[in-house]
Amino acid sequence: MSTHSILQPGSGPIRSQHYVPADEASILWGRLPCAADVPVLTVDSGTEVTIDTISHEGIVEDQGRNPLAFFAKYGVDADSVLVDASALATSDYPRDTTTDGPHVITGPIAVRGAEPGDLLKITVLETLPRVPYGVISNRHGRGALPGEFPRGEGNVSVFAAVEERDGVDVGTMPRVLGGAHTVTFPLAPFLGIMGVAVAGDVRPHSVPPGAHGGNIDINLLTVGASLYLPVQVPGALAYVGDPHFAQGDGEVALTAMEASLRVTLRFDVIPAATALHEFGALVGPLAETTDYLIPTGMSPDLDEAVQNCVRAAIALLQARFGMDPEHAYAYLSAATDFNISQVVDLVKGVHARIRVEDFRG
């Protein structure tokens, strides 16, 4: 495996002066924040924050809720298992395993001045692997092929390692159970969950994404990318979780290469008037990279998710580049890829890749 250091809580590089560990006082397990939640940190707009995240893989009930024992089966020694993950797994955290999701959420973080109507811009500045391994799972009869996989009884969790090949860290996995790690794939760490709190006093389930963001699983949200979210409560109450080392569009088996990250993010408030001018009436998450504007569409029905994404893309092209709807629709048909973000989170996600370069002139 890679010689990466194990980033235990408070150890190793911490880029920002603001640091949020993933201890029991700073996390939610299985639910997302709502307006009634108290922030674990309050910062000004423009502030960078370093945040530890914990992957749910290895700590959930059907894997034994004992990461030391779970990862020992794959040759991981005790010193290479995160102590915060072990502490959470062995705690009496009040999670209802019959109704709550699997994800561990760090936050919420309040941003001063954020009000409903504004956008919260979250920019990814750094993603550091906390461990050099992860897990890819097909469990609970879910995924793109429910009823076909997993085969037989039980659940399948595939151990994946980070290894250095030709001077580059890659993900590795076996071809068959117990085999050598002869399959390699690129790593592109990102957070599957980035969101803002919903109004009211009911915490949403951690699995389905929505206008608040949450479990959007857009693999373009790597270092340098930004996510814009419509603020729903004063202070925004931002949170992150579901860390990935790599994911294909669709995430078809149920999970990607799930593994814990230490991330540094910058939180910026975009005032309502500016937001409307720049992006139009944004009703859901919008991502941005150096090369692309990335509107999203969501629905339990994949066809409707595509339609919602096309509508969001047309509205964005109208606001940002002054196109009329017919020409925006034509441009999207000729020049824009619509990708399936994921099909496994109850609410399916689609995102479009609008090339910024196409509008330089």
Claim to verify: residue 213 and residue 112 sit in the same structural domain: yes
Claim to verify: residue 26 and residue 175 sit in the same structural domain: yes
What is the pTM (predicted TM-score) of this model? 0.96
Claim to verify: residue 175 and residue 308 sit in the same structural domain: no
Claim to verify: residue 252 and residue 330 sit in the same structural domain: no
Reported as a single tens digit per residue, the pLDDT across 62-79 is 999 999 999 999 999 999
Which of 235, 270, 305 marks a domain boundary? 270
Give the residue, 140 or 338, on which the prediction is more confident. 338
Could you tell me which residues come within 8 angstroms of residue 169 by beta carbon, excluding any fewer than 6 positions away?
Answer: 2, 4, 162, 163, 187
Residue 4 within a domain: no
Which of 239, 270, 301 marks a domain boundary? 270
Residue 183, pLDDT > 80, answer yes
Residue 131 within a domain: yes
Claim to verify: residue 287 and residue 252 sit in the same structural domain: no
Claim to verify: residue 260 and residue 343 sit in the same structural domain: no
Which of 270, 287, 303 marks a domain boundary? 270
Claim to verify: residue 48 and residue 178 sit in the same structural domain: yes
Reported as a single tens digit per residue, the pLDDT across 135-180 is 999 988 889 999 999 988 778 999 999 999 999 999 999 999 999 9
pLDDT band at 4 (very low <50, low <70, confident <90, very high): confident
What is the domain extent for residue 345? 274-359
Residue 8 within a domain: no
pLDDT score, position 3: 60
pLDDT score, position 355: 98
Find the mean pLDDT for residues 21-25: 97
**Terminal Cα distance for the chain, rounded:** 48
Q: Which two tokens stand for residue 243?
A: 């860390």
pLDDT score, position 250: 96
Claim to verify: residue 26 and residue 43 sit in the same structural domain: yes
